[in-house]
A and B are shown apart, each in its own frame.
Chain A
């Protein structure tokens, strides 16, 4: 029997793909295996199908990509795999899936084809015609006062944060929470003090917090230094995904992975540099989630190329 304190802990699932010795990009099928395994683990006693049905029962689902760095964005096979899982296991139609970003330009630069029509999965930047930022009110949380994209305030019922794990020279790390800078109209105002407490406060804005359902951080290829702009010299390979319903816990585990890759490559831990990731502590303070690894129910699974699954270690 699972102890109660474990049930109450935030669960983070790390799922790794062991069949990628060449460190290639994963395809849709491989991402799908990882997602099925991870979502099954998040379901605790149920399976991934039940989890999807319960987590995304109906309505429209947003998927916030990270396309800032055109050569290291949220990848299409991951989006395709996740979208298929949702549409096949819930009542949500493909057209009710909205893959979104700050601008159309960023989506296009990352290779996505825009689609605002009523057919097929939608791909929208906040600057798309008829979208924009919700100017009916300023949302406030802590030190943040911002307008939020209408995609979140008006168009979707649930949001999945599809971040990409990478080094960030100001925040220290960009994973899930930093990705939500793309939801507000004035992200440039929030980069002081290693983006803290701003990253926490942005994620605490009502539309962002209330519609957040899942964080999926792509840690297959991880730029461990000189980010967030792409720099192939600092690309490491973890071949895994980090999933959690708790955005703070997901980023806390992602930080361990980033630090691990930095250590492997002879770089100091971020906490020992001027790029210490400060926003996690700030997020924990305002009750957004747990940043303490000891309070996180961390599950690590390994998926082999033949689809078999086993438990594993984080490193």
Chain B
């Protein structure tokens, strides 16, 4: 891709966005609409994938995610972006993002990770699950031939971040696990230039690749879709247990972790589930892991359900707090008090949020300015 063109394009949108800057943070720049100025490529990559084994009877078995797809010649894995050619497994999306944006880090959402900063956000086509509520289904449920892709090798991503002084790269929108090699190489290169990397994921990944990836990342946000196995089977086309195991692995590895739980009316919104979820988090991850309960909007294959009522989200919040979680947030409810961060010790407001506007109030470094309690996160 022509990097000059890309930067020029971002510059134009930056100017346009400057007029509508908020108090603390510029609005998100770029996005797919801007990508039309980029030079697209119809070529797919042919970079050998990691984490697979050749089978004696022919074909390969992918070991990247718990699905363990067995793939014969010319076929692809469930993700649609990794293909067997003569029993060599290739990633087809290395260096080929189909979505680019500069987002507030709060949009991920990561509330305890350098609040008020931006993240260069990117995604390729493909996903290793199929959530019926997916908001980015048009890229996540597509094969790379069906999306408009930009030729952007890892070095170009880093160059853009350096020139525009963007501190973090977010692998997001679709499912970064399926573009593992691309993400891993960008993150490694980024660390050499003091650029951080965060993964926004469903957490459906095998232990070994996760273990190798964690040192290259600085934070992970996991969408825990539900705490029931049948929900994962019926609405995600995946399994719950590997996600829970992955969360424990992340926590043990010491990487900064936040969770999102999308509350869908009638599907995962009972008191019992909220209680079970909070108890599992407290027991296995600790009470200091931020949990975001997010409002559902009808889309993709769940257009028959209504938007989540605010009262349901409030219920999730109250139950989780009562169960002992320290940082419980409500998402997609701009202006709600539960968007802000409060000290679990004295209740003082530490970071005030309204949508993507962020105002530090009483946070001194990583401590409460009022009671000096340490606030977990990366500040």
Interface residues of A (CB under 8 A from B): 68-69, 103, 105, 127, 133, 138, 145, 168-170, 185-186, 188-189, 191-192, 226-231
> Which residues in window 300-341 of B have CB below 8 A to A?
300-301
Q: Which of A133, A169, A170 has the most CB of B within 10 A?
A: A169
Given contacts A169-B59, A191-B75, contact A186 B80 (CB under 8 A): yes
Main secondary structure of the interface of A (DSSP, over half): loop
Pair B130/A189 contact, Cβ less than 8 Å? yes
Pair B143/A228 contact, Cβ less than 8 Å? no
B124 within 8 A of A: no
CB distance from A100 to the nearest CB of B (A): 15
Task: Give chain A residues whose Cβ lies under 8 Å from the Cβ of B76.
Answer: 188
CB distance from B143 to the nearest CB of A (A): 7
> Which residues in window 59-88 of B have CB below 8 A to A?
59, 69-70, 72-80, 84, 86
Chain A residue nearest to B301 in the complex (CB)? A145
CB distance from B206 to the nearest CB of A (A): 17
- Rounded to whole angstroms, the CA-CA distance of A227 and B73 in the bound complex is 7
Interface residues on chain B, size class: 20 to 34
Known: A170-B72, A226-B73. 15 other contacts (CB 8 A): A127-B145, A145-B301, A168-B72, A169-B72, A170-B75, A185-B143, A186-B130, A188-B78, A189-B130, A189-B237, A226-B72, A227-B72, A229-B74, A229-B84, A231-B73
Pair B78/A185 contact, Cβ less than 8 Å? no
- Rounded to whole angstroms, the CA-CA distance of A103 and B80 in the bound complex is 14
Interface residues of B (CB under 8 A from A): 57-59, 69-70, 72-80, 84, 86, 130, 132, 141-143, 145-146, 237, 300-301
- Rounded to whole angstroms, the CA-CA distance of A69 and B73 in the bound complex is 9
Task: Give chain A residues whose Cβ lies under 8 Å from the Cβ of B79.
Answer: 188
Pair A133/B80 contact, Cβ less than 8 Å? no
- Rounded to whole angstroms, the CA-CA distance of A145 and B237 in the bound complex is 12
- Rounded to whole angstroms, the CA-CA distance of A138 and B80 in the bound complex is 18
Number of A-B contacts (CB under 8 A): 60
- Rounded to whole angstroms, the CA-CA distance of A133 and B55 in the bound complex is 34
Chain B residue nearest to A229 in the complex (CB)? B73
Task: Give chain B residues whose Cβ lies under 8 Å from the Cβ of A227.
Answer: 72
CB distance from A30 to the nearest CB of B (A): 28
- A185 contact from B58, B73, B142, Cβ within 8 A: B142
Pair B301/A229 contact, Cβ less than 8 Å? no
- Rounded to whole angstroms, the CA-CA distance of A69 and B86 in the bound complex is 12
Given contacts A138-B301, A226-B58, contact A188 B77 (CB under 8 A): yes
- Rounded to whole angstroms, the CA-CA distance of A138 and B138 in the bound complex is 12
Task: Give chain B residues whose Cβ lies under 8 Å from the Cβ of A186.
Answer: 80, 130, 141-143
CB distance from B88 to the nearest CB of A (A): 12
CB distance from A139 to the nearest CB of B (A): 11
Task: Give chain A residues whose Cβ lies under 8 Å from the Cβ of B132.
Answer: 145
